[in-house]
Amino acid sequence: MAGLAGWWWSAPAWLALAFVAQFFRDPPRTPPEGAGKVLSPADGRVVAVEKTRDPFLDREAIKVSVFMNVFNVHSNRSPVDGEVRQVWYHRGSFLNAALDKASLENERNALWLRTREGADVVCVQIAGLIARRILCYVQAGDALLRGERYGFIRFGSRLDVYLPPGARVRVAIGARVRAGESVLAELGA
């Protein structure tokens, strides 16, 4: 009887360990072939597709936002082949990342990527209500390939992708996407 009681007491710890192990998983992904494709930088659900002003490059843009819940893979991948032109880190709040105002008020880290064709794409990691740590493994001057890992956000959060105005969006609000595999948009030739 003492052995059974010991197991029941340890069950919550084993469940917590299983949750953390599944959260930090980082499965391999194979990016689709084809020039000009912009891939999702995160697993999750598309929560915004809108014309807006890119606050980092001060230009008109199309923003596609992906919300990651605590059950999604949180490894972030480059949406395009390109050179990292600049990285910006902003301290901020920790509001629910599903809210629109999280894009401007929450802690965030932005990457400006320039493709070989000269298109500028900005990818922004945004901390959420529970997420307290954004990791970015690249710096200005680094080259990234589509689908290559570049960062990680711990626990539920959001990624915004700012595209040039001529980009053709291929997802709708509510779509489920996978980092490094799902096509968010196509850049003009």
Bridge partners, residue 53, by sequence: 60
Q: Which two tokens stand for residue 19?
A: 């949750």
Set 40, 75, 157, 182: catalytic member: 157
Check: CB of residue 40 under 8 Å from CB of residue 178: yes
Specify the long-range contacts of residues 86-91, CB closer than 8 Å, at least 24 apart: 86/111, 86/112, 86/140, 87/111, 87/112, 87/136, 87/138, 87/139, 87/140, 88/56, 88/112, 89/134, 89/136
Bridge partners, residue 177, by sequence: 44
**Cα–Cα distance measured from residue 132 to residue 23, given in angstroms and rounded to the nearest whole number:** 15
**Cα–Cα distance measured from residue 39 to residue 82, given in angstroms and rounded to the nearest whole number:** 13
Residue 124's nearest CA partner among 154, 176, 87 is 87
Query: Is 103 part of the annotated catalytic residue set?
Result: no
In terms of C-beta density within 10 A (0-12 exposed, 13-18 middle, 19 or more buried), how is residue 113 classed? Answer: buried
Which are the catalytic amino acids? 157
